A and B are shown apart, each in its own frame.
Chain A
Amino acid sequence: MNSMRKGFLDGLPIGLGYLAVSFSFGIMGTNYGLKIWQTLLISMTCVTSAGQFAGLTIMVSAGSLVEMLLSQLIINSRYSLMSVSLSQQVDDGFKTPARIALGHFITDEIFAVASSRGEKVGKRYFAALAVLPYVGWSLGTLLGAICGDILPSSISTALSVALYGMFIAIFIPPMKKSISITVVVLISVAISVFLYYQPFFEISTGISVIICAVVASLVGAIFFPIKEERKEVQHGE
């Protein structure tokens, strides 16, 4: 799977969803007193939702750099998990320079789309896939920072489900074919719901996602180990 055209197409819904999410980040930046270019620069260099929102808050409250670093590492640590997962799915042409150049575009959504297609991921496909999300993320931030609330709230509200709609379109179809994926998803959702509504402690989205992903995937790996691909010659068996 290394078609640029397919990459662009797959990136379109992500880009549209990002437009809405980053729009709210742009508004927030302006409200917090950042200059337009500052808010835009954050989006263009970080390309991450939860981490940026947290970082912006720490920035304007003049938090310490240690606090900033820790919050980023904790909230964004899920990307390490995704990076390792994606490293197993890229094709042989996806070498170190390409990884160094393109690794920064491993967002939740780009990762999800790239890794759930059941094919090897080529660098051309991945680069093309990242383009529209990156444009959407930057443009949305810029527009939000400039014009604040120009978008009627009914439209921005509707756009805010775009990403979730896309997620659902990614994880539901495999559940029809695989009982093990179904079980993993149900466990993950159950933990996620519990962590969200439990009254005992505050937990960030980033940490919650890691706990859900690790526990559910561990259960999957223990009870439903995947079949080994055997492409070698199978004589003599």
Chain B
Amino acid sequence: MGNEFFIYLAVMAVSTYLVRTVPFTLVSRKITNRFIRSFLTYVPYAVLSAMTVPAIFHSTGSLISATAGFVVALVLSLFERSLITVAFFSCLAVFVVSLF
């Protein structure tokens, strides 16, 4: 693949860049509308939870090891452990369970 590669790449990279940067740059003032502010406050949590469930259960190729990773992450999160701790022990749980 020669020149076409760069054309494809340009379309991908530029569109992805603009989708992120244009709203970020244009919305530079504080939004005062309470409804919109409320909506935007909830967005991160809604995005993250939707991306996690059910995808995590299909991420390891085994429902059992994935569930182990999920449960460990859930419990540690309830105890408010740090991101790296939760991520590490979640991986460890998957690793250990998949040994059997």
Contacts and interface: CB of A to CB of B under 8 A. Distances in A.
A208 B99 contact: no
A87 B16 CA distance: 17
* Interface of A, helix, strand, loop or mixed by DSSP: helix
Interface residues of A, number: 101
Given A108-B47, A169-B83, A192-B49, A161 B38 contact: no
B43 A164 contact: no
Interface string A31-42: 001100010011
A30 interface: no
A88 B30 contact: yes
B12 A168 contact: no
Given A76-B16, A83-B20, A103-B25, A155 B95 contact: yes
Interface residues of B, number: 76
A13 B12 contact: no
A80 B20 contact: yes
A82 B15 contact: no
A216 B46 CA distance: 6
A16 B73 CA distance: 16
A76 to B, nearest CB: 5
Contacts of A224: 38
A3 interface: no
A185 interface: yes
Given A167-B49, A192-B49, A216-B42, 19 more contacts: A12-B84, A13-B84, A34-B1, A38-B1, A59-B5, A82-B20, A82-B43, A83-B24, A85-B43, A104-B17, A111-B44, A169-B85, A169-B87, A170-B48, A170-B83, A217-B39, A218-B39, A220-B42, A221-B36
